[in-house]
Structure 1
């Protein structure tokens, strides 16, 4: 789905060749500061590379409209944006952004259950804890049902038990919908347990990539 060819970005990334497969779960692992998040941010043009080429479905990212791409390839940062208003407002704002139809409350509650967020739709989103805000952000992405979900440390604010529950649910959802999931994770254990494909980054270079 994504092809990197001789891609360079500042002194942070230098990727000779990388393929991220479609309709699979790919984990990007590596030490802090290795370039994992920078790589992820290239996939929906939050960053533009200096040299080389990145293809999405065999089309150069340089030729794809950024807003159109971000409706299909959605990134959830490590600290997701939380907007003023209720939990319901925060879930629906993703659908508005991606020009998708609004959904009934029953669907919103189903998503909250999926991410193990035991809250009502009318609660103030700003009052949630860090881990709860992270789960709300995940719910917003799942509700948008993008072609590609880019998750940057989606469970960093969660305890280990909740982390496994959430990642398992996200992976199951992605596979059932036949979507592409790319996640940066600090946990090799998570990568090994849930990924179809693992990419290891060191000092901005791909040092290992393998399918399982």
Structure 2
């Protein structure tokens, strides 16, 4: 699905060659500042490599319309923005931005339950805790039903029990719907338990 060749981004990342297959769960491990988040941002063209080529579905990523690409390859950052207003407003705004209509397979309340949120849709989203906001943002990503999910430390604000529950839910969703998940995680245990493939990035280079 993704192929990177001789990719260099500033002094942060230097990748000779790597391929990421579709319909798999890939975990990215590595020390802080090693280039993990940069790697994710390259995959949906949030940033552009200074050198080298990145292919998505055998097509150079630069040839895609950036907005269309990011609707298909959606990234959830570590500190996602929560929109002002209610939880329902957050879902509606997400759909308006994506311009993909109302989801055919998921509804708002089901999404909240999937990410273990018990709040009402009418509750103010800004009153959620950090971990709850992270889970709401994950629910918004799932609402879009992207082909590829790029998750940057999706459970960093969660306790260990909730972390495993949420990651299990995402992995189950990905596998049941034949999607692709690429996630940065701080936890080797999470990577070993859930990933089909583990990639280690240290000092900007892939070490596995």
Range into which the TM-score falls when normalised by the shorter chain: over 0.9
Structure-2 separation of matches of 1:95 and 1:43 = 22
Distance between the aligned counterparts of 2:68 and 2:191, measured in 1? Answer: 30
Measured after TM superposition, the shift of residue 95 of structure 1 is 1.8
Q: Within 5 Å, which residues of 2 pair with 1:129-144?
A: 129-144=129-144
1: CA distance, partners of 2:119 / 2:90: 13
Q: Which of structure 1's runs of 4+ aligned residues deviate more than 4 A?
A: none
How large is the Cα RMSD of the aligned pairs? Answer: 1.1
Corresponding residue for 1:80? 80
| Aligned counterparts of 2:78 and 2:91: Cα–Cα separation in 1 | 17
CA–CA distance in 2 between the matches of 1:92 and 1:140? 9
1:46 aligned counterpart, secondary structure: coil
Q: Does 1:18 align with 2:18?
A: yes
Bigger shift: residues 56-65 or 87-96: 87-96
Task: Output the TM-score relative to the length of structure 2.
Answer: 0.97
Q: Which residue of 2 aligns with 1:62?
A: 62
Partner of 1:159: 159
Equivalent residues in 2 for 1:19-58, closer than 5 Å: 19-58=19-58
Counterpart in 2 of 1:124? Answer: 124
1:206 aligns with 2:206: yes
Return the offset for 1:102: 2.2
Residue 103 of structure 1, CA deviation: 5.0
Contact 1:28 1:185 in 2 (8 A): yes
Structure 1: unaligned runs, 5 residues or longer: none
Partners of 2:103 and 2:143 within 8 A in 1: no
Q: Kindly provide the CA deviation profile for residues 64-99 of structure 1, in whole angstroms up to 9, marking residues without a partner as x.
A: 110110110000000111011100111222222222
Contact 2:103–2:144 (8 Å) recurs in 1 = no
Q: Distance in 1 between matches of 2:109 and 2:32?
A: 35
Deviations 1:156-203 (A, max 9, x none): 000000000000000000100000111000001000100011110010
Secondary structure at the aligned position of 1:42 is classed as: helix
Contact 1:92 1:140 in 2 (8 A): no
Aligned to 2:7: 7
CA 1:21–1:103: 2 relative to 1, 3 Å: closer
d(CA) in 2 for partners of 1:92 and 1:19? 35
Matched residues, number: 207
Q: 1:17 to 1:103 in 2, by over 3 A?
A: closer
- Structure 2: gaps (5+ residues): none
Once residues 195 and 182 of structure 2 are traced to their aligned partners in structure 1, the CA distance between those partners, rounded to angstroms, is: 9
